[in-house]
Structure 1
Amino acid sequence: MTDRFRAGAGRLCLDFIRTLRYRGTPAPVEELPDASAWGAWIDAFGPFGTPVRPASVDDAWAARESIHALLTDALRPSLRQRLNSFAALPVPAPALTPSGELRWQADDPASAMLALLVRDALELVTSPEFARVRRCAGPACGALFLDTSRPGTRRWCSMEICGNQAKKSTYRAKAETR
């Protein structure tokens, strides 16, 4: 996987909704501006062994925003229907190649990926893990992540980025008051 997209939120659906960086700030950054970027995301995170070239990114945006609403308790009946529609799409099927390798195939890989993402979100919100979904404490971040730490006190989506920035800010503030 390239560094183009962030990973490590703890669930595939959480990594997916992070494709709108800095959500809720004055300057959000869209990581899926077009179908090519959506295909690159599927290539990076999906189970397919060959490049995926979707025709549009519109369904990906709709699914992402519906998943975010589901996870942040802003779900309306129309969004629930949209999520159920995406979840009902055919998922990739495993197939054994002549050389004995497992490959995942779908008639429409982009739609199959949306089904996987929405199913992952639905499983998450109906599981005990949902109590461990956190919003990053970074003031400009707002990303959601699954806190898998033993005490359940993780504060940042990434210690290397948001956690490090917070610690630097605290250090600078203390240095200025001395």
Structure 2
Amino acid sequence: MAIARAMASEFRFNSGRVSLDLAATIRRRASKPVDVMAPAGASGRWLKAAGLFSDVPALSRSEEVRLAELREAIWQLVTGAMHGKLPDRAVSIVNRAAKYPLGMPQLDSSTGTVSVVSDDPLATAISIIARDAIDLVTGPLKMRVKTCDQPDCRMLFVDTSPSGQRRWCSMQRCGSRAKVHAFKRKQAGAAHTH
């Protein structure tokens, strides 16, 4: 139980899409970027935490690089789409990743559970993520993708709020920080007027 909680807090899954959650594994892109998948085994832990593997896979260095390459391509693809331009290299990387066939669902008659069978589980997971990115930049949610208003964060997220006025990736994180900062500015301004 403690391990599951540690995994959940290690990564963020509040963007609204798995492809954007992968892009969010670089935190604070606009200030001091931190790659939360850099530590040993973190890429495998992210894949499990994202629900793409039932157990933490052990990835080779080249597999980690492949996942990181997709992460950057998704970032470039989505930010480019937000500005009306799909970068050729990012499109190529995402398209190549999306080509791998998805796993085949198999029903277990004794347990009634479903497992997904694939010749290459990592390629399947990468394909799921890439297909999600393609769907995002071409589907109805394209206009709802936003960048967090917190200047040092800039995480991408899908604004599913009814009003479409969500400003932060997370109210608990960036929204709270912004409100505290605004309150301190207001207090400092009030102190100067007295």
TM-score range, shorter chain: over 0.9
Say yes or no: does 1:19 pair with 2:21: no
- Residue from 91, 96, 101 that aligns with 2:107: 96
3-state DSSP class of the match of 1:85?
helix
Q: Residues of 2 paired with 1:42 and 1:140: CA distance? A: 26
Q: Say if 2:73 and 2:89, in contact at 8 Å, map to a contact too.
A: no
RMSD: 1.5
Q: Residues of 2 paired with 1:142 and 1:4: CA distance? A: 18
Q: Residues of 2 paired with 1:15 and 1:107: CA distance? A: 25
Between Structure 1 and Structure 2, the one with more helix by share is 2
| Equivalent position of 1:126 in the other structure | 138
Matches within 5 A, 1:6-155: 6-25=12-31, 27-33=32-38, 36-55=41-60, 56-73=63-80, 75-97=86-108, 98-155=110-167
- TM-score normalised by length of structure 1: 0.93
Q: Say if 2:150 and 2:168, in contact at 8 Å, map to a contact too.
A: yes
Q: Residues of 1 paired with 2:188 and 2:39: CA distance? A: 45
Task: State the Cα distance separating 1:37 from its structure 2 match.
Answer: 1.0
1:35–1:106: structure 2 CA closer, same or farther, 3 Å change rule? Answer: farther
- State which structure, 1 or 2, has the greater radius of gyration over its C-alpha atoms: 2
Tell me the number of residue pairs that the alignment of Structure 1 and Structure 2 aligns: 177
The runs of 5 or more residues in structure 1 that have no matched partner are: none
Q: Which stretch of the first structure deviates more once superposed, 62-71 or 97-106?
A: 97-106
